[in-house]
Amino acid sequence: MGIFDEIKKKLSHEFIDIIEWLDNTNDTIVHRFERYQNEIKNEAKLIVREGQTAVFINEGQLADVFTPGTYTLNTQNLPILATLKGWKYGFNSPFKAEVYFVNTHLFTDEKWGTKNPITLNDDRFGLVEIRAFGTYAFKINDPGKFIVDIVGTDANFTNFEINEHLKSLIATRFTDTIGEANLPIELYAANTSELSETCLDVMQPEFNSVGISLEKFYIENVSMPEELKKEIFEYSRIDKLDLDKLTKFKTAKAIEAAAANEGGTAGAGMGMGMGFVLAQQMGGMMNPMAGQPQQMQQTTPVTPPPMPIQVQYFYALNGQQSGPVSFDQLKALFANRTINKEVLIWKQGMANWAALKEIEELKIFLGGSTPPPLPGA
């Protein structure tokens, strides 16, 4: 041991030992208190400020943990360390132990994002890829576990170091959660709040297992390829709009694009051709014969014959004229015996009244009609 080491050791024994950490950074999570050969005197002062926790490590083993306050270190407030050291009756000489100060305040606005696209299977669009990014906030809720499981012997552990670990954890759990949600692809961006809350609940146990509390988790954006966006917008329009109107709208847009084309005669010819198609489509709404061969269009439309006028009959009953009635009504009167074959009947075109049995088309009421002989019989 050199002469300067002897001087440092002597000075450290002669003056009151004070153990504290003044954090001048915004990103340090764990700081190891440096002391010559890690020696701590009996009755040394330990100062733990708000937002800090002091953790004692003895030869790699977790010992005592101190919350904010000022402490005089002795056997009474170092029970775990006293057991590890075998101090049955206290101690008077300096002892060796590592002291780690853990920053327990909230670390906010930490960034996360998916390094690679997430592949999902959508019922309508098949396999699709999405990306996502956002922010999260965390703090250390179990300093001892955090040092043992994460920090190890790192003398100055920053949030940059832990963020790499946390981002990988987030990306894995986020992918699992999104896959199990099984939402239509266009609803992921519309439900970021609900997905954020779900991811927070899913990830919290993973963070707690290493002494970290995930306080906030936000999905700020879910993005997808531009081609997929266009397909989704197109699908939405088709679902909401009349398909025929959509076709006409697209045709009109194509004509507009062709007219603006600087390709000269070819572009103009295309525009004229598409204009002709559009004219035919629009004309079809007013002319049902549009699109038919010219010969068919010039044919004089066939006019159906006029509807036959139903014959009306008058009949004499008890010396009184009754009617007019239709053929079927007259037949019903004959069937229910209101009239008989002798009753007088008149219709338009007859010069005089005649008995029912004498009117040719009414003889069918009498039954027993015999058809005429076959020709050539």
The predicted-structure confidence for 250-307, as pLDDT tens digits, reads as follows: 787 778 777 776 555 444 454 444 444 444 554 454 455 545 555 545 556 677 777 6
Residue stretches of the chain with pLDDT short of 50 = 11-15, 265-268, 270-279, 282-283, 285-286, 290, 296
The pLDDT of residue 293 is 53
The pLDDT of residue 241 is 54
The pLDDT of residue 267 is 47
Question: Are the C-beta atoms of 54 and 97 separated by less than 8 Å?
Answer: no
Cα(347)–Cα(324) distance, rounded to whole angstroms? Answer: 9
Question: Are the C-beta atoms of 131 and 212 separated by less than 8 Å?
Answer: no
Question: Are the C-beta atoms of 273 and 308 separated by less than 8 Å?
Answer: no
Question: Are the C-beta atoms of 60 and 147 separated by less than 8 Å?
Answer: no
The pLDDT of residue 276 is 47
CATH superfamily, domain 107-224, is Band 7 domain (3.30.479.30)
Between helix 265-286 and helix 243-260 the angle, nearest 10°, is: 150
Cα(206)–Cα(214) distance, rounded to whole angstroms? Answer: 9
Cα(203)–Cα(213) distance, rounded to whole angstroms? Answer: 10
Strands of the sheet containing 354-355, edge to edge, are: 320-325, 313-317, 344-347, 354-355
Cα(41)–Cα(117) distance, rounded to whole angstroms? Answer: 56
Domain spans, the chain: 3-103, 107-224, 313-365
- Total residue length of the chain: 377
Q: Which residues contact 113 (CB under 8 A, 6 or more apart)?
A: 131, 132, 133, 134, 167, 171
Task: State if pTM tops 0.85.
Answer: no
The pLDDT of residue 2 is 59
CA distances from 18 to 40, 95, 156 (A): 9, 14, 20
The pLDDT of residue 284 is 52
The pLDDT of residue 236 is 61
Core vs surface per residue 291-300: b (16+ CB within 10 A) or e = eeeeeeeeee
Provide the greatest CA pair distance for the chain. Answer: 159
Cα(217)–Cα(258) distance, rounded to whole angstroms? Answer: 49
Partners of residue 114 on adjacent β-strands: none
